[in-house]
C-alpha cells in the first residue's frame, strides 16, 4: 500500500515538474470534456476550490458579483468543487452545478470535482501550492482564529505545510500566468477585489508587476520596441516643459562588450565569482542612458522619464533595472572614455543613470513595502 502511495505521488510530481506554466495543464469541465488552461491566456484568473454545504458557501454570491463586475475587463473565475473538507461537496457535478445555478445563478465556469491534497490531488493544485504556500490565517479575525484553532487541534504543525486548508481557498493568476497571491477562506473579499482591480487594469497591473530584473535572455530588444519605449519616456511631465534630459540608447553589442572588458580587468576577482557574468550592466543586451544638466537640476524630471520608460517596457514584456554603479565606474575610469565619447553627450550634460533593458530571464517576487510611511490627512 505504501509503495502504491509513493508511486502515485511520484507520478504527480513528474507531471507537475514537466509543466512550465499554468497553461500546460488540462482540466475537465462539468461534462467531462478536456479543457486546456491555455484557453485562458491573457486573462486574469481567480482559481477556487468550492463546496456546497460549507459555512463559506455564501461566498458564491460574492464571487459571482466579482465576475459580473470584472468579466468584461478580463477576469475569469475557475471553480473546482472538492469534497475533501468535511465532506461538504458530496453530490455529483451535475447536482452541484444545479445547486449553484439555482441558489447563486453563477455564470463563471465550473469544472469537474477534483482533489486538491494528497495522493490523488490534481497536478494543477500541486503546481499552485508550489507557487504560493500557506501564509497563515489572520488570527485577529474571528473566523481566522476559529479556523486556526480547529486545524491546530487536528495537526499542531498544520501551518508549516502548503496544503489547501479548507474550502474556498483562492489563487489569483496574472494575465501572463504568474501566481500573484493565495487567499484563505477567511480572507476578506474586499481585499481580493482590490487586487483584482489592480490586475485587470493594464496601467495598474504594469505598475504593480514591475520588478528590477537582474537576469536577461541573450536576445537584444528590437529597435522598433526601443523607439516606442523611449517615446513613452520623453512624454513624461517636466517643469515648464523644459525637458532637461538627453537620452542615449545603446544597441551596439560590441560597444557593451568592449567597455565590459575594461570592467573585467579592474574587477577580476568579482567577475570570477559570478559564474553568470556576461557584461557589467547586469548582462542586459541594451542600455538606455539618461543624462541631466551638468550644473545641476533636471533630476526630478529625469526620474519621471525613467519611470515612464520602465513601465512601458514592463507592459511590453520586457525587464529593466536602474543602474548607478556602472555609471560611477564609467565616469571615474579614464579607460572608459571611448564609451562616453560614443554616447556623444553634450558638454553641458552629464550621465546620470543607466537603465538596463532586455527580455527577462527571471520573475522575482515583490519586496515588502512599508505602508506605515503613508498617512492620509483628512
Catalytic residue numbers, as ranges: 54
Angstrom distance (rounded) from CA 109 to CA 101 = 11
- Sequence-ordered strand ranges (E) for 245-284: 246-250
Angstrom distance (rounded) from CA 247 to CA 301 = 13
Angstrom distance (rounded) from CA 111 to CA 98 = 13
CA-based nearest residue to 154, from 168, 140, 142, 166: 166
How many CB atoms lie under 10 A from the CB of residue 69?
Answer: 14
Angstrom distance (rounded) from CA 328 to CA 330 = 6
Q: Which residues lie closer than 8 Å to 297 by C-beta, 6 or more apart?
A: 244
Nine-digit cell string for 45: 484568473
CB 282 within 8 A of CB 321: yes
CA-based nearest residue to 21, from 9, 43, 37, 44: 37
Helix pair 123-131, 2-18: axis angle to 10 deg: 70
Amino acid at each position: 500500500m505504501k509503495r502504491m502511495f509513493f508511486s502515485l505521488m511520484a507520478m504527480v510530481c513528474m507531471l507537475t515538474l514537466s509543466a512550465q506554466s499554468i497553461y500546460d495543464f488540462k482540466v475537465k469541465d462539468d461534462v467531462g470534456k478536456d479543457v486546456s488552461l491555455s484557453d485562458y491566456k491573457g486573462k486574469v484568473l481567480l482559481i477556487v476550490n468550492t463546496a456546497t454545504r460549507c459555512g463559506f458557501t455564501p461566498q458564491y454570491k460574492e464571487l459571482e458579483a466579482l465576475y459580473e463586475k470584472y468579466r468584461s475587463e478580463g477576469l475569469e473565475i475557475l471553480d473546482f468543487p472538492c469534497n475533501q473538507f468535511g465532506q461538504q461537496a458530496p453530490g455529483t457535478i451535475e447536482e452541484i452545478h444545479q445547486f449553484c445555478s439555482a441558489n447563486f445563478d453563477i455564470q463563471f465556469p465550473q469544472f469537474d470535482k477534483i482533489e486538491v491534497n494528497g495522493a490523488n490531488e490534481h497536478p494543477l493544485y500541486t503546481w499552485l501550492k508550489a507557487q504560493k504556500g500557506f501564509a497563515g490565517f489572520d488570527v485577529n479575525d474571528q473566523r481566522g482564529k476559529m479556523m486556526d484553532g480547529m486545524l491546530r487541534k487536528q495537526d499542531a504543525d498544520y501551518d508549516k505545510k502548503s496544503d489547501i486548508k479548507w474550502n474556498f481557498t483562492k489563487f489569483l493568476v496574472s494575465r501572463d500566468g504568474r501566481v500573484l497571491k493565495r487567499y484563505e477562506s477567511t480572507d476578506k473579499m474586499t481585499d481580493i477585489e482590490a487586487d483584482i482591480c489592480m490586475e485587470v487594469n493594464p496601467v495598474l497591473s504594469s505598475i504593480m508587476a514591475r520588478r528590477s530584473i537582474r537576469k536577461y535572455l541573450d536576445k537584444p530588444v528590437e529597435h522598433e520596441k526601443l523607439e516606442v519605449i523611449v517615446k513613452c519616456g520623453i512624454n513624461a511631465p517636466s517643469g515648464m516643459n523644459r525637458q532637461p534630459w538627453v537620452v542615449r540608447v545603446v544597441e551596439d553589442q560590441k560597444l557593451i562588450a568592449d567597455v565590459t572588458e575594461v570592467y573585467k580587468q579592474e574587477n577580476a576577482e568579482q567577475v570570477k565569482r559570478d559564474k553568470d557574468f556576461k557584461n557589467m550592466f547586469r548582462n542586459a543586451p541594451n542600455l538606455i542612458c539618461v543624462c541631466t544638466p551638468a550644473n545641476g537640476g533636471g533630476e526630478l524630471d529625469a526620474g519621471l522619464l525613467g519611470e515612464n520608460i520602465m513601465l512601458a517596457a514592463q507592459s511590453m514584456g520586457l525587464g529593466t533595472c536602474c543602474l548607478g554603479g556602472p555609471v560611477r565606474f564609467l565616469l571615474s575610469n579614464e579607460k572608459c572614455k571611448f564609451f562616453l565619447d560614443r554616447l556623444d553627450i553634450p558638454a553641458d550634460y552629464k550621465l546620470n543613470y543607466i537603465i538596463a533593458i532586455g527580455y527577462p530571464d527571471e520573475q522575482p517576487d515583490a519586496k515588502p513595502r512599508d505602508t506605515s510611511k503613508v498617512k492620509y490627512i483628512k
